[in-house]
Structure 1
């Protein structure tokens, strides 16, 4: 009998599709809710009521008939989502067992102030607890984000090294990390930073043991197909792209120019969805969004 892990691994390695990023945390949730049509006056009781609202939004997305494993490989979830239920089931198990979508958990706890042209991750003080939560819920992997703003080689090396150090701990726990050193799309040195990042990524990938399999989430590069060597690396399961502030149409157009690079969009995925949509309107909008992102990811 095939285990859940084996089935998830096979899907992540071989199936067509993209990753849905549904992991807005405390800092990004108000903006996400605002775009969805829920103002801050709707959750005046504080963080708990805010997370109640965003869980309703996420629940509506993943229970939609448009959202399933035919086009969506995986979904990245915030810790709060993983501790809640969807239709009476733990959220991560609902995704896998009812939708065929691989669950992944966000593990970073925000960013440090910029130094040497980058923002490192704040200390991951909850890492052990989150890895335990992941194993209890048969979650396949993790995601951690840091940011690169300038083409500072020392900063980029420190950024990527921190990410790989965390990634190794995730691998030791039996999970697969998504390492996300995002290059700011507004950086005046974006293309130069990406060239440095590529080489630093390859150096770190070459230092992994054969059984340390990771994923990468990267900004769509200025130079198309820049990351082909990274995508082909034997330690890499998938390389996915963030929308990074581009509109969905812009992100899709840029993504389609990069072979074997698939999406992991958040704001671009939910663009245009509204709390005031009827069920049919919501499903139709989400279907259009998923269809366009799938096409840009797979049909190149």
Structure 2
């Protein structure tokens, strides 16, 4: 584990930029950016365009460690370069931003009110490559839609089982059991989720560290005990589809919970903006999310 990166993630003010849209969500991210599906043909062109978008974001003046302490990358972004450097190295060396990697392969079909992760057959190879690319940690996402105790237990068990494998590889896992913001049972689901996470955290060895990425809770400061747990490096919040302003307002209600936003960070960026316009919009988004994260 990179100790400098660990201390930054544990102690520094700021938030994590989620730049990890994968094959399924990339067309939506590009469309939001002003690049429609008729402007590219096939996955190679699509990923080339999204890497250009991410490179534009990462190289912008507003994207540095004064407000952004970490960034989550998609696997092909990790293997791509910015200005002749692998993306993770560029983030760490040029921007002072800690690199993370999304390792899940998407969601399985819903069962018991949840969507677990699909099997990750190549996880050992992925973790080896992540270490070669100087990645600090990983992220993997599940989704909870109903307050089903059996389903929520299964999601958390899968997350921590994979998390232990990631810890053993010398990386820090971001455990992400997202609760759907549109769930009619959101508050109850969050209560059940907190109890399951607490139980699994208490079973970790003293030197095992994880991060948590959770939906902003209905009840403010619900996750206070998780934030303070000795095995938890940081608890970060996903925007979950909320617009930037609403996500920020909800985040401000939760002490020591910081953002790890995707759409809320990039929603006002457009491929047709001049560099000045683009940089100004990104700077506004970064500042607003940072302010909400340190409240």
TM-score by length of 1: 0.98
2:56 is matched with which residue?
Answer: 60
Alpha-carbon RMSD = 0.7
1:137 is matched with which residue?
Answer: 133
Q: Say yes or no: does 1:262 pair with 2:275.
A: no
Instruction: Figure out how many residues of one structure are paired with residues of the other and give that number.
Output: 295
2:193 is matched with which residue?
Answer: 197
Moved over 6 A (4+): none
Secondary structure in 1 matching 2:2: helix
Shift of 1:130: 1.2
1:117 is matched with which residue?
Answer: 113
Q: Say yes or no: does 1:291 pair with 2:287.
A: yes
Shift of 1:137: 1.2
Distance in 2 (alpha carbons) for counterparts of 1:276 and 1:294 = 26
Give the counterpart of 1:233 among 229, 239, 252.
229
Shift of 1:42: 1.1
Map Cα deviations across residues 32-53 of structure 1 (whole Å, 9 max, x no partner): 0000000001112x00100000
Distance in 1 (alpha carbons) for counterparts of 2:156 and 2:150 = 10
1:187 is matched with which residue?
Answer: 183
Distance in 2 (alpha carbons) for counterparts of 1:13 and 1:188 = 34
Distance in 1 (alpha carbons) for counterparts of 2:267 and 2:36 = 16
TM-score by length of 2: 0.99
Distance in 2 (alpha carbons) for counterparts of 1:110 and 1:293 = 26
Map Cα deviations across residues 1-50 of structure 1 (whole Å, 9 max, x no partner): xxx81111110111100000000000000000000000001112x00100
Secondary structure in 2 matching 1:147: strand
Map Cα deviations across residues 232-257 of structure 1 (whole Å, 9 max, x no partner): 00000000000001000000000000
Gaps of at least 5 residues in structure 1 are none
Map Cα deviations across residues 217-269 of structure 1 (whole Å, 9 max, x no partner): 00000000000000000000000000001000000000000000000000110
Secondary structure in 2 matching 1:276: coil
1:82 is matched with which residue?
Answer: 78
Distance in 1 (alpha carbons) for counterparts of 2:280 and 2:106 = 34
Distance in 1 (alpha carbons) for counterparts of 2:161 and 2:178 = 17
1:38 is matched with which residue?
Answer: 35
Gaps of at least 5 residues in structure 2 are none
Distance in 2 (alpha carbons) for counterparts of 1:6 and 1:260 = 21
Q: Say yes or no: does 1:155 pair with 2:163.
A: no
Map Cα deviations across residues 119-168 of structure 1 (whole Å, 9 max, x no partner): 00000112112101111011100000000000000100000000000000
Q: Say yes or no: does 1:277 pair with 2:273.
A: yes
Map Cα deviations across residues 84-123 of structure 1 (whole Å, 9 max, x no partner): 0001101100000000000000000011100001000000
Distance in 2 (alpha carbons) for counterparts of 1:191 and 1:48 = 41
Distance in 1 (alpha carbons) for counterparts of 2:128 and 2:282 = 32
Distance in 1 (alpha carbons) for counterparts of 2:60 and 2:129 = 26
Give the counterpart of 2:22 among 25, 34, 55.
25
